[in-house]
Structure 1
């Protein structure tokens, strides 16, 4: 059996670029984001994961089609016999029983040209008899309808739950400034470690812990961000970051963890408020985890951050940011440890740190 190899088709590589990838069970969402890029639209994976709570085995057909509708993509379920004809009209999303998914782009002789989320190279030539094309749970022909509700996002100021939102927290957002920053930041060579545990519940300790993520780049780590950012909402203005973070930490000190259930309910709000303040240009999620760990320390417990699905965590954080904290609190409670977890990365692999291998079998299994 021939191996999967990188495709030499430059047209597909230029049109699709690189697929964002977080976890195997969100590969189908990565493919839908890639298809939007293929169709001339654009959306980041992190902006899609709050549409639905993707389970650890990947979205089922109903959920996948719901996400597609929200993105403005018509998804037509195919049989294996319909595949060749469908590919002549456009890309096809293939989802495997394992939860992994790939985007079939074309058929060339005996091979398929496919985009593989998380693979060392995005565009690959896949033999028709490859294992990756077996154990298929669904095939969908994709048609872009020109935009869905999830692409027409209306930005609003972030909502805070533990501290009041002040008028000074409002800022002005410049898309061009953020684009210029992203271009500059993406070029930097940065080796990142886990943030060090907080020595105290203070702004100084937060900055020191953040600096430990990447000490070689003191311009970006260990300092507050210098540009205004937004995701689903507008974060606190740069001029008010020290004030807002200090207020949040003081609130945490005034409400110490004494019993597990109320402590986890408070920790959910603490994490959401921290992410709404968003004091750093990079690493805010990891710093939010460190902050929650510090808050729970008096109870002798921690959260097993290793066990959390990034996509599921994102979804419940987005729900909590709208005032629905039950899901996030239950997620934290389900992963409580009575001791500190074994040292190691607290975030799953991203598309930039997937190890290269001779094949993608380990990724798709």
Structure 2
């Protein structure tokens, strides 16, 4: 039997994980496909939806045979990945490409449907890639992901990440809260917003170094490309982005320099309060030297802190507020019930904004 390697088991796992973050449950079965393009010495696999795609590529031994283009369903791909085996070809015909995987001395045979190369998205040959900080950028991306849920409608400017090449910032928002961090950006010179997806919130995918970014525009579309080692992720650029600096309150407000011990105690007190659900509103009442945290059924917790030198009361979403506290901002600035709360980290330039709840 003349065997030729299709892909290694580790690459197969990456393909499965990336595809699971790209392909939505709501998609039709005939859309839940991963496309493979095999040429001599290399392989690329692509998963796509209506606005974005991920391409995983692998260099193979020079003697590996190229078998053309073919597809496999997401469920079948997951089944293959669970076997933790390299995949090999063993024969082909006009309609299908046959593969096998040795598992517990049992040959597992599968057939992959041939497709045309036109069914696979192409990445422009000439992209001006910008190298990003391999440690800093993925962490910024993952932190930004805490501040916005996966998009549901890419036609609106919610649930997005914006690469602001004009002000060298990365911004994430879901319309209720906002995350802002300093980052040198040269691949785009304007505010370039893209949808926040499950892919961009998956640590195993976005922490693969090196990390690079590129921007491309033609007559029909405008896209951002992010390259994480052997994975290239691409998504459509959304329309105009709001003037987010205008949302940031002016002035110092009522500043609370919150140390790590106080952060931990505050998060624990919020977690211990009885609530109906994780988004239950809590009331924060500050007075000199202490803060009272009130939850459901008049349950409350009082925490003392000498760094509190002001008085104000307001309500916040318990889950979101606690998540932001967990990200170790140095200072929290309060203004009034109608103005965003500002969380600052002066050392790194990170900033988060959260609107208080009314009533």
Per the shorter chain, which TM-score range? under 0.3
TM-score, normalised on structure 2? 0.25
Flag the structure with higher strand content: 2
- The higher-RCO structure (CA 8 Å, 6+ apart) is 1
TM-score, normalised on structure 1? 0.25
